[in-house]
Amino acid sequence: MLTQRETHLQLARAVLDWNRKNLRHDTQLTVADVAQCFGERFVVEPNGRHYAADRQAYLDFLNGMKSGMQGIEYQVLHTVADGDSVLFDMAVQINHTDGRQEHFIAMLLMRFDTEGKVKLWKEVYLPKP
């Protein structure tokens, strides 16, 4: 039997895999797709901002964000996890449909509800020099 920490690590890695698969201009996301990883209601905190979200609102955001994306890749450099949350220190590359590439250093904190769905997505992205 997996510990809570191990379960959360698996869930967090699965969310990154979901992003790799779905955050592309050529995917058609639905609320059911978002529900694979995210709770009915959750909090998103990107770069110091705070949003209370639901699946439909997040779907709308993702569809806009991914419209010019060819894909996203994460290189996890360091992981910290406990029974409550997972924190990834990462190098992130976003490829765009116009050929541009963006490189970031990122910290991503995820917390999960009792159903194993994201209830907190807190991230800080800094452009990589």
CA distance 70 to 65: 11
Sorting pLDDT into bands at 50, 70 and 90, what band is 50?
A: very high
Question: First vs last Cα of the chain: how many Å apart?
Answer: 43
Report the share of the chain in percent with pLDDT over 70.
100
For the chain, which residues make up each domain, given as ranges?
4-127
How far, rounded to the nearest angstrom, does the alpha carbon of residue 21 sit from its chain's CA centroid? 12
Q: Using the structure block, give the residue that is written with the tokens 């890695």.
A: 13
Mean predicted confidence (pLDDT) in 48-63: 97
State whether residue 66 is helix, strand or coil.
helix
Query: What CATH fold (topology level) applies to the domain 4-127?
Result: Nuclear Transport Factor 2; Chain: A, (3.10.450)
pLDDT per position as a tens digit, 20-38: 999 999 999 999 999 999 9
32 membership: H or E segment, kind and range = helix 31-35
Please say if the pLDDT value at position 129 is more than 90: no
Beta strand pairing call for 69-81 and 85-96: antiparallel
What are the C-alpha distances in Å from 65 to residues 13, 26, 28, 129? Answer: 21, 12, 13, 23
Can you read off the two tokens belonging to residue 81?
A: 């996890």
Asked whether the predicted pLDDT for residue 123 surpasses 90, the reply is yes
Question: For residue 53, is pLDDT > 90?
Answer: yes
Partners of 46 in the β-ladder: 123
pLDDT in tens, 57-108: 999 999 999 999 999 999 999 999 998 899 999 999 999 999 999 999 999 9
Angle at 11 between CA 21 and CA 63, to 5 degrees: 35
Quick one: tokens of 25? 């201009």
Contact 100, 20 (CB under 8 A): no
Residue-level pLDDT at 8:
96
